[in-house]
Chains A and B, each alone.
Chain A
């Protein structure tokens, strides 16, 4: 029985399955439009953001870890001292997101009934920082310090063998908070996954307040008033960042191969790699002519795809589906939203092209280190 559950979890956690599940389920959990909202209500998904939903979620996470703790294979990764922060991360992210959504739904209801949000207080009825805030800060600080001391006494800081440049561990992993980026390396070359995407993440995050011109929902929890913004951010944060960290930590073993949490990390696991570039698909497989010698001709279609995706698609959208939106926010904001939005979307797109067509690069110019 338990073994069956473990086998099922192993299969479900393969990125192809789990990532697809999360992506498909996402708009129903954080509904960005009325239609999704309807289904969200109809099938009771909204109950996730009620108290029973909280207990259910906490139970599921705990169940996963408890079973994992007693599993000989998962035990190894789970009890690594450096992985404890990820367990904390999973719990704290669930608790805080649940709390925010729970409060948001309460507030949404109040706003619909013409009431002010829960956080609202009479501006003249303020409290004194001494003692009301100072004491809370003081208590929070003491409790947190106690927690940190207990953690430090119980878990020794890891120290492995002395550094040896000749012996590469397999897998070599970056610190856990960068594992999302390392996971992206499966799908993109380092210059994108390690440089361009991180820069876009930083600049894109800084640009959020300038791109999101929705004035509502400032200073209180809410969902409905800003559901599209919430949806996009939460997808990036939860699925493309945190979930990739979880994959990178728990599900990636030797040679960065996928292993289910309850699977043994077999260093000799062989995964057939027959990834093909777009240019090879076109010139070799379709036209049967062999790759042209001229690089630009060889990769011409790839460049066309890139220009169509990053350049033409936004223009078409601005003229059709997003017409009103474009008019509302103007060309500058629109350009940046598209730049960051489409770059973010490029990650799942590339993942699926890899999984479905074994596509390696859309543009492959290893001569210039220019692979996309």
Chain B
């Protein structure tokens, strides 16, 4: 009882100049301070300060959108660490991967990155399923559903481009199977319908050395240039677009009136 008036360490910290300069509201205790804690933080204010009860339930959102985002961050960080060790050339790629497992202390970065990537495909699918199941794509959220579909596509493409990088049998053949499709792209793949129509006289514009598959692989086969292209797409190109779309996605959740719910 005698401690009643004595301030706890946390309380004193919450009143210190340092803390208050960072978190203006002090230690979030009162209702006002708690709302301030959300509104005053760049990161937390992605959320509104108050939300309807059903929206915080795991049973409603399954946390899957949030976990997808979390996985994206985990993948960014682990991916960055992998980039320290990995060189995207036919000569080094495979051995760098082996080195990573054998030489790097506590080396589970590659595992975290790979399994995290698989998990992200799954969480994104589950998120999509829950949005469908709760009918949350209906107006006014049509546009955000569309952004979501693009995010899902990009997530799978990210995973796909990463698949090549270990440069083992699994990698090049999975990518060979995948990119063989591009060969059959109507008009712009050299074995696609309509490709032969794009010709000037006898000269075919679309052939194995100029079609969309060639553009993707940087060659006629999965080789050195493909590795570099996939590396650049995987580490910079696709994440960059994904990040922009995520920003749009989150912004729109708020603008569309927050998490959906019955009226």
Contact = CB atoms under 8 A, between A and B. Distances in A.
A168 B173 contact: yes
B111 A152 contact: yes
A145 interface: yes
Nearest to B111: A152
Contacts of B126: 92-93, 96
In the A-B complex, the 6 residue pairs with the smallest Cβ-Cβ separation, listed nearest first, are A194-B181, A152-B111, A209-B142, A190-B184, A219-B260, A100-B133
Contacts of B71: 144
A212 interface: yes
Given A145-B74, A148-B112, A191-B185, A369 B192 contact: yes
B152 to A, nearest CB: 8
A120 B261 CA distance: 7
Q: Which of A129, A144, A148, A216 has the most CB of B within 10 A?
A: A129
A289 interface: no
Given A212-B138, A369-B191, A172 B177 contact: yes
Nearest to B106: A153
A165 B101 CA distance: 24
Interface stretch (A174-182, A302-310, A313-321, A334-342): A174-182
- Dominant secondary structure of chain A at its interface with chain B: helix
A1 B183 CA distance: 49
Contacts of B201: none
A163 B133 contact: no
| B contact face: mostly helix, strand, loop, or mixed | helix
Contacts of B166: 159
B262 A233 contact: no
B121 A130 contact: no
Contact of A370 (B180, B182, B193): B193
24 contacts: A96-B62, A96-B129, A118-B54, A120-B262, A123-B52, A128-B38, A129-B44, A129-B47, A140-B63, A151-B111, A159-B168, A160-B170, A162-B94, A165-B172, A177-B121, A191-B184, A195-B185, A202-B149, A205-B149, A215-B138, A219-B263, A220-B134, A226-B135, A365-B193
A31 interface: no
A148 B116 contact: yes
A214 B163 CA distance: 40
Contacts of A164: 169, 172
